[in-house]
A and B are shown apart, each in its own frame.
Chain A
Amino acid sequence: MRVGILYSRIRKDEKLLLAELRERGHDVEKVDVRKHGFGLDGTDAALEDCDLVVDRCLATSRSKYATEFCKHYDVPVVNSPDTAAVCADKVRTSLALDDAGLPTPDTTVAFTTESALEAVESYGYPCVLKPVVGSWGRLMAKLDSRNAAEAVLEHKATLGHYEHKVFYIQDFVEKPGRDIRVLATDGEPVAAMTRSGDHWLTNAAKGAETNSFEVDEEVAELVETASDAVGGGLLGVDLMETGDGYTVHEVNHTVEFKALNDASDVDVPAVVVDWLENRAAAEVEVTP
C-alpha cells in the first residue's frame, strides 16, 4: 500500500513506524506539512495517490487542519479530523468522556479569574489548573493554596494567549504515584504501561519510570468506551487508579509509543502497522 505520513518532526516513534512500513514493502510518502499549502481545490502535497494517510504532526494545530484537508480531498486519514478535534481540546475530551458515562475527573470551565477562583475554592486544595491545549505535562498547575491560585490565574489572564483565559479547573486525583497509558487501535488495547514518579505529574516526557501493565477486563472496557467516545483510531488512553476503580483523564490522538515499546513485550509498531493495513484494506472495500 501507499502510506502518507503527515509530519513536521520525525521522532523515534515515527522512525519505528517508517522502519516497519518499509520493511513490509509499503511505499511511504513523507509529507512535511510545513512545506505545503492546503487549498480548497487541492494541495501540492502528494496525498492523492495514498491508500491511507497517517497523521503524525507534532503540532496539534497542524494536525487538526491537515487532517481536515485530507477529509476534504477524500483521502483516508487516521486519525480522523473529528477525533483530532476532540482529543486536541481538553474541554471537548472531558465532555465526550462524561457523555459516554465514563469516570473522569470532575472538571469546571470558567472564563474569568473571579469565576475560576470560585471554582477552585469549591474544589478545595489541592486542585489542578490545565491549559485546554497542550501536552507532555506542560503548563499544568497544582494549586495548593488560595495565594497560589490567585497568582497563577492572574499570570494566565495577563500573560497568556486567549486560550489561557479559558480556565480548565479539575479536581485533584490522589493517585498511587503512577498513572496508566494504554495504546489502543479502535478501542482494542495493544499494550499498556504504568508511569511512575515522585512528582505529581507522571508523564513519560517528564521522566517518569515506565513499566509494563497488564490490561484487565475493567480497563479494557474503559478504553473501548473512551475510544468510541472520541471517534476511535490509534489512541493513547490515560487512566488513574482511584482506590475503588479508575478514572479516564486524557485521550491522545497522535500518541507517542517509543516508551511503551521499550516497557512492554509487544512489538508496538508491528501491531500498529497491522492495524493500518487493515484500515487501508477496509477503505478499498468501501471505495472500489
Chain B
Amino acid sequence: MSTCPECGSDVALHDDLEVGEIVDCDTCGTELEVVDTAPPVLDRAPELSEDWGE
C-alpha cells in the first residue's frame, strides 16, 4: 500500500512491484510511477512523449 501524491488516497500495490513500473490511482486516475519498492514510493508519471513507442 502507498499514497497517491496527487489526491492522497491509498493505492493498493501488487507483490512483484518493480521500480519504473506505472500504476494507476483508482481514486483520481493519475498515472503513478513506482520510484522505490522498499517501502513503496509513488510519484506522478511523466506525460506521454512523441517519440515513445516500440
Q: Which residues of A contact B (CB under 8 A)?
A: 7-10, 14-15, 18-19, 30, 32, 58-61, 131, 133-136, 138-139, 161, 236, 252-256
A15: which of B16, B50, B51 is its contact (CB, 8 Å)? B16
A10-B53 in contact (CB<8A): no
B20-A9 in contact (CB<8A): yes
Nearest opposing residue in chain A for B52, CB measure: A58
A8-B54 in contact (CB<8A): no
Q: Which residues of A contact B54 (CB under 8 A)?
A: 135-136, 236, 252-256
Q: Which residues of A contact B41 (CB under 8 A)?
A: none
B21 part of interface (Cβ distance < 8 Å): yes
A134: which of B18, B21, B53 is its contact (CB, 8 Å)? B53
B52-A135 in contact (CB<8A): yes
Chain B binding surface, main DSSP class: loop
- Nearest-Cβ distance from residue B39 to partner chain A, whole angstroms: 18
Q: Which residues of A contact B18 (CB under 8 A)?
A: 10, 14-15, 18
A133: which of B21, B22, B33, B50 is its contact (CB, 8 Å)? B50
One digit per residue, 1 when the CB lies within 8 angstroms of any chain A CB and 0 when it does not, for chain B 26-54 equals 00000001100000000001000111111
Q: What number of B residues sit within 8 Å (CB to CB) of A?
A: 15
Nearest opposing residue in chain B for A12, CB measure: B21
Nearest opposing residue in chain A for B34, CB measure: A10
Q: Which residues of B contact A59 (CB under 8 A)?
A: 49, 51-52
A133-B51 in contact (CB<8A): yes
Kindly state the separation between the CA atoms of A134 and B50 in the bound complex, as whole angstroms.
7
Q: How many A-B residue pairs have CB under 8 A?
A: 57
Residue with the greatest number of chain B CB neighbours at <10 A, chosen from A7, A18, A30, A59: A59
Q: Which residues of A contact B51 (CB under 8 A)?
A: 59-61, 133-134
Kindly state the separation between the CA atoms of A15 and B50 in the bound complex, as whole angstroms.
23
B50-A161 in contact (CB<8A): yes
Residue with the greatest number of chain B CB neighbours at <10 A, chosen from A58, A252, A255: A58
B12 part of interface (Cβ distance < 8 Å): no
B7 part of interface (Cβ distance < 8 Å): no
Q: Which residues of B contact A60 (CB under 8 A)?
A: 51-53
Nearest opposing residue in chain B for A163, CB measure: B50
Q: Which residues of B contact A255 (CB under 8 A)?
A: 54
B50-A9 in contact (CB<8A): no
Q: Which residues of B contact A30 (CB under 8 A)?
A: 19-20
B53-A136 in contact (CB<8A): yes
Q: Which residues of A contact B16 (CB under 8 A)?
A: 15, 19
What are 13 residue pairs bridging A and B, where the CB atoms are less than 8 Å apart in the complex?
A: A9-B20, A9-B21, A9-B33, A9-B45, A10-B34, A19-B16, A30-B20, A60-B52, A60-B53, A134-B51, A134-B53, A139-B50, A254-B53
Kindly state the separation between the CA atoms of A56 and B49 in the bound complex, as whole angstroms.
16
Nearest opposing residue in chain B for A254, CB measure: B54
B19: which of A10, A58, A252 is its contact (CB, 8 Å)? A10
